[in-house]
Amino acid sequence: MNSLNTSATWRALAAKSAEFKAPDFSLNALFAQGERYANFSLAREDLLLDYSKNLLDAETRTLLIQLAEERRLKQAIQAMFAGEIINKTEQRPAHHVALRLPEEQQTNGEVSATLRKMSALVEKIHTGDWTGHSGRQIETVINIGIGGSDLGPAMVVEALRSECLPSLTVQFVSNVDPIHMQQMLERSNPETTLFIVASKSFTTAETLANANYARRWLLKSGCAADCLNRHFVAVSSNVNSALAFGIAEENIYPMWDWVGGRYSLWSAIGLPIALAIGMDKFRQLLAGAHSMDQHFATAEFSENMPVVMGLLSVWYRGFFDTDSFAVVPYSQSLDKLPDFLQQLSMESLGKRVTRDGEPLPVNSGAVIWGTPGTNGQHSYFQLLHQGTCVIPVDFIAVANSNADDAAEQHEQLLANCLAQSLALMEGRENSAEPHRSSPGSRPSNTLILKALSPSALGSLLALFEHQVFVQSVIWDINAFDQWGVELGKTLAKEMLQALGDEAERADLDASSQGLIAQLKRWQGTA
- Across the beta sheet with 140-144, what order do the strands follow? 169-173, 140-144, 193-198, 232-236, 252-254
* 149-168 residues near ligand F6P, rule: CB under 6 A: 149
> Which of 201, 302, 324, 518 touches ligand F6P (CB under 6 A)?
201
Please answer whether residues 452 and 398 qualify as being in contact, where contact means their C-beta atoms are separated by less than 8 angstroms: yes
Q: How many CB atoms lie within 10 A of CB 242?
A: 25
Give the H or E element holding residue 400. Answer: strand 393-400
489 tagged catalytic: yes
Residue 147 interacting with ligand F6P (CB under 6 A): yes
117 tagged catalytic: no
The candidate with the shortest Cα–Cα distance to 470, out of 32, 149, 67, 59, is 67
Least distance (Å) between residue 148 CB and ligand F6P: 3
Task: Cis check for the bond before 446: say yes or no (omega within 30 of 0).
Answer: no
Residue 204 interacting with ligand F6P (CB under 6 A): yes
- Closer of 12 and 208 to ligand F6P (Cβ): 208
* 395-424 residues near ligand F6P, rule: CB under 6 A: none
Least distance (Å) between residue 236 CB and ligand F6P: 8
Least distance (Å) between residue 202 CB and ligand F6P: 7
For 404, residues 6+ apart whose C-beta sits below 8 A from its C-beta are none
- Which is catalytic among the residues 220, 300, 378, 408? 378
Least distance (Å) between residue 207 CB and ligand F6P: 5
- Tell me the site size for ligand F6P, rule CB under 6 A: 14
Assign 40 to helix, strand or coil: coil
- Closer of 207 and 345 to ligand F6P (Cβ): 207
- Which is catalytic among the residues 347, 410, 465, 466? 347
378 tagged catalytic: yes
Residues facing 369 on adjacent strands:
326
Residue 78 interacting with ligand F6P (CB under 6 A): no
- Which is catalytic among the residues 21, 450, 489, 493? 489
Least distance (Å) between residue 265 CB and ligand F6P: 11
Residue 485 interacting with ligand F6P (CB under 6 A): yes
* 440-469 residues near ligand F6P, rule: CB under 6 A: none
Assign 396 to helix, strand or coil: strand
The candidate with the shortest Cα–Cα distance to 108, out of 273, 256, 261, is 256
Q: Classify the C-alpha dihedral 372-159-392-483 as positive or negative.
A: positive
- Closer of 49 and 273 to ligand F6P (Cβ): 273
Please answer whether residues 412 and 427 qualify as being in contact, where contact means their C-beta atoms are separated by less than 8 angstroms: no
Show which residues are catalytic: 347, 378, 489
Site of interaction with ligand F6P (CB under 6 A): 146-149, 199-201, 204, 207, 261-262, 347, 482, 485
